[in-house]
Amino acid sequence: MDSEIMVETLPLLGTCNLCLNEGAVKSMLIGHKYNGKSEVYAEILEKCFAIDVSLLQLGDTKRLICDICIVRLRDCMMFRHQVETSFNTLETAYKLHKDDKIDNDGIKREITLNVDFDDDLPNVDDDDDDERDPEIKPEIKTEPEECTRRTRSRTVKKIPTKCTVKKHHDLTETESMLQTGLFPFKIRKNRTFSCSICPEKSTNLDDIKVGF
């Protein structure tokens, strides 16, 4: 019975280019599986330290890396990713703060404009007061009218006084005429005689004279 031949990959022995220690190494130029992803250590080295191993003049030296340096290189890659994320976060926060500041400045300008407009309002009120002056003037004119009415009413009240003075004057003249033998009387349209002093009336003038 033939025995099966088992083949096992032997570790590559050599000198690590990153720490110069001899031992089991891997090539940095080919891809290696790690956590379901392929990683090329030469690309990681270039991303983290901007070192392109293909451009280095090393002669026949192979581009090799040991397991310890692979772990440290992965940590550098993770740290690089952390740094990039942090700076991106800071940059985004700055942009947001800048935009908020611009918005706040715009709001402050609007508030300032509103305040300036409010400061101009008293002048508008003054104009309104000037426009309202004609409405006040009729009220001012009303007082003279009341004074005129009062003056007229007082004048009307004084008329009887003037009439009384006139009657007194007429009575004095009538008495003077009687003393001289004259008898004053009035003749109405219906041929009725009336006394100039008293309201007595009669169609016979002698009847009126009897009273004197």
Predicted pLDDT at 7: 47
| Residue 16 marked in a binding site | yes
| Residue 69 marked in a binding site | yes
Cα separation values, 130 from 122, 127, 142, Å: 12, 5, 20
CATH of domain 12-89: 3.40.1800.20
Predicted pLDDT at 85: 94
Longest dimension (CA), the chain: 200
pTM of the model: 0.43
In the chain, where are the structural domains located? 12-89
112 token code pair: 């300032």
| Residue 198 marked in a binding site | no
Predicted pLDDT at 1: 46
Predicted pLDDT at 71: 96
Q: What is the spatial distance between Cα 21 and Cα 8, in angstroms, rounded to a whole number?
A: 24
Predicted pLDDT at 149: 54
Q: Are 65 and 29 a contacting pair, CB within 8 Å?
A: no
**Segments in the chain below pLDDT 50:** 1, 7, 124, 138, 147, 156, 161-163, 165
Segment 130-163, tens digit of pLDDT? 555 555 554 555 555 554 555 555 554 555 544 4
| Residue 195 marked in a binding site | no
